[in-house]
Amino acid sequence: MHRLFIIFVAAFAFFLCGISLFAQEATAGLSSPATVVGRPVEIVVTVRDARSAEVPQSLNVPGLRIELLGRSTRFEMNNFKITSSLTYTYSVLPQQAGEFDIPAVEVRVGDKTLKTNPLRISVADASAMQPPQGLPNAPAPQMPSSGGQVPRSNGLPYFGELVLSKKKAFVGEVIPAEFRYYFNSSIGGEVGDRPNLVGEGFTVQKLANVPKREQIVNGENYIVFAFQTAITPAKSGPLEIPPAKLEARLQLPGSAPAGFDDFFRQFGGIAPPGMFTNMQEVGIETAPTALEISPLPKPGRPDDFSGAIGKFKMEASVSPKKAGPGDPVTLRVVISGQGNFEAMGSPALVGDEEWRSYPPSEKFQSSDSINYAGEKVYEFLLVARTDQQQTPGIRFSYLDPETGKYEILTQNPLPVQARAGQSAAQTTEAAPDQKKTDAPESASTPNPAPAGKAGGASSWTSILVHPAFLMANASLGVIWILALLVIVIRRQAASPAGLRRKKIQRLKADLARLESCPEKEFTSRAVACLLTALDTESNPLEAGALVAGLAVDDQTKAQLANLLSRDEELKYSVGGTKAPDRDTRAKILSALKKIPA
């Protein structure tokens, strides 16, 4: 009975093999969308559900030599669903540089004519060796690409790779990256939302999904799931990006049930490939990637450099063009381009002594999915101290990572008519004087004393010993003394010693509050204390270099460097970071207290 059941199931399977479950279609794909003159690539034409077909021996595209190399046949069955395909491989040899459109290939199957999808290939000059970049919807000069190299599948049904726009960068520079995961089209399944990447010494932007696509790899058709992001190094020196793991549930080839292999051997064969599959949980990882990170160069660094790294341009405008007494005008500055928009500071105003200016508002508009390209708008609110015919000038400095040199963008003052207004303090001071002027003259004239009485015309007292004169001078002396004390106190507070004492007092208070602050706030508050102690609140990027130069022991330096890394991970890392335990908190507090005042 058991043997009859096996024969019945096998006969049913062969019956299903004769039924076509897929409509006939022809598709084409390039092994690489970009190459250079003299470097060949391949076109793979796949014809589904066909036992035979006719294709042209060559394709006529001026500038390219395209010839047929060979044909292969594939037969697969997945859970009793049959698929068959013919694969025709063409060699494409570029003979000149340019963009080339490869027309659809006509495939004759029986009495039908099928057409593949058209293709486009970019060919660069061999001396330039700069094929177009590989990420869709991204600025070509900086986004990562495979550089014309085909990923190596090594015959695996699935694999992953990390593609970076560069392998050498500066601290704080944004590096566009793409995680790619390849799955052979012969297998099915589903993938997770995004890969998991956790490491030290860098921050990662939120991963953005890229629409899945098909790609030919070593003659095999793969489905590619990609995720774009931006990696920002937080410290100089060698940096390794660890493997990024993507979870997936895949339908992989499995073994036949007991008895099936014996049955097929009786007929002189084996079970068709792909007839039996198993659903498996797998993790696909990218290979670790090494980077070389350099510190920001010190030679030529402008005094107003605020941490901008990339390529930028600047535009400015002012509104309104005319402003009444005391009315504000808005100076709008737009910084656009590619770089670390989230970390850079605002432009500097030049020649604004005759203006009252306030910290600008900021608004960033991204033009890609990873906040690498876009524009940042700064709006300065200005009020003229004296009548003005032009705005202050504008200056913005940044580091060009390609040349390693600092660049300065300047904007000349813009024409504007702004009238100065009377301040509230001046109005308050003028009011008493006006009242004195308007008071009747008789009110300030004392009545004459009767003759013969003290203080009258028959007697007089020197003004130097008059009680009213003495009281007025005493009051004036007190006012001068108080004013002098205020000036002395202010000068002491503004002196280096005074500022140092104020900083120490504030730091002690912050450290005292840090000992009992909530766990979630500990890291950010501890970093604030560190920046205060190092005098780098306005330029956090310098903190790492200053920590390395502190006159403290190596263990203390390590704790402080680890604190900066924790803060960067807390802000930007995809996986986040755990709150430090009590022992770690105690070590961080001890290290902060050892920083020289």
| 8-24 pLDDT, tens digit each | 455 545 444 443 444 57
Mean pLDDT for 304-333 is: 94
Please choose, from the candidates 372, 239, 230, 231, the residue with its C-alpha nearest in 3D space to the C-alpha of residue 294. 239
CA distance 163 to 176: 9
Place of tokens 């204390």: 529
Q: What is the mean pLDDT of the chain?
A: 78
With contact defined as beta carbons under 8 Å apart, do 288 and 294 qualify?
no
Q: At what angle do helices 554-572 and 519-534 cross, to 10 degrees?
A: 120
Looking at residue 443, its pLDDT comes to 40
Mean pLDDT for 305-309 is: 94
Measured in whole angstroms, the distance separating CA 362 from the mean position of its chain's CA atoms is: 16
Say whether pLDDT at 340 is over 90. Answer: yes
Token code pair at residue 312: 């930028």
CA distance 499 to 188: 67
Looking at residue 3, its pLDDT comes to 54
Please choose, from the candidates 125, 128, 146, the residue with its C-alpha nearest in 3D space to the C-alpha of residue 37. 125
Please choose, from the candidates 171, 164, 169, 170, the residue with its C-alpha nearest in 3D space to the C-alpha of residue 565. 171
How many CB atoms are located within 10 Å of the residue 374 CB? 16
Considering only residues 446 and 592, tell me which one the structure prediction assigns the higher pLDDT: 592
85 torsion bin: left (phi>0), alpha (psi -120 to 50), beta (else): beta
Q: What are phi and psi of 7, to 5 degrees?
A: -60, -40
Looking at residue 173, its pLDDT comes to 95
Looking at residue 293, its pLDDT comes to 95
Percentage of residues of the chain with pLDDT beyond 70: 75
Measured in whole angstroms, the distance separating CA 512 from the mean position of its chain's CA atoms is: 35
| 211-247 pLDDT, tens digit each | 777 777 877 888 888 899 999 999 999 999 999 999 9
Token code pair at residue 204: 């990662």
β-pairing, 393-400 vs 220-233, is: unpaired
| 65-82 pLDDT, tens digit each | 998 877 776 655 444 455
Query: Residue 433 — very low, low, confident or very high, per pLDDT cuts 50/70/90?
Result: very low
Say whether pLDDT at 96 is over 50. Answer: yes
How many CB atoms are located within 10 Å of the residue 46 CB? 21
Read off the amino acid at residue 139.
P
DSSP letter (8 states) at residue 273: T
Query: Starting at the edge strand that comes first in sequence, how are the strands of the sheet with 34-36 ordered?
Result: 34-36, 119-124, 98-102
| 575-586 pLDDT, tens digit each | 556 778 888 888
β-pairing, 289-294 vs 237-241, is: antiparallel
Looking at residue 405, its pLDDT comes to 95
pTM, to two decimals: 0.51
CA distance 193 to 190: 10
Q: What are phi and psi of 404, to 5 degrees?
A: 70, 20
Residue ranges and CATH numbers for the domains of the chain are 1-131 (2.60.40.10), 133-295 (2.60.40), 300-418 (2.60.40), 497-593 (no CATH)
Contacts (Cβ under 8 Å, ≥6 apart) of 543: 530, 531, 534, 536, 564
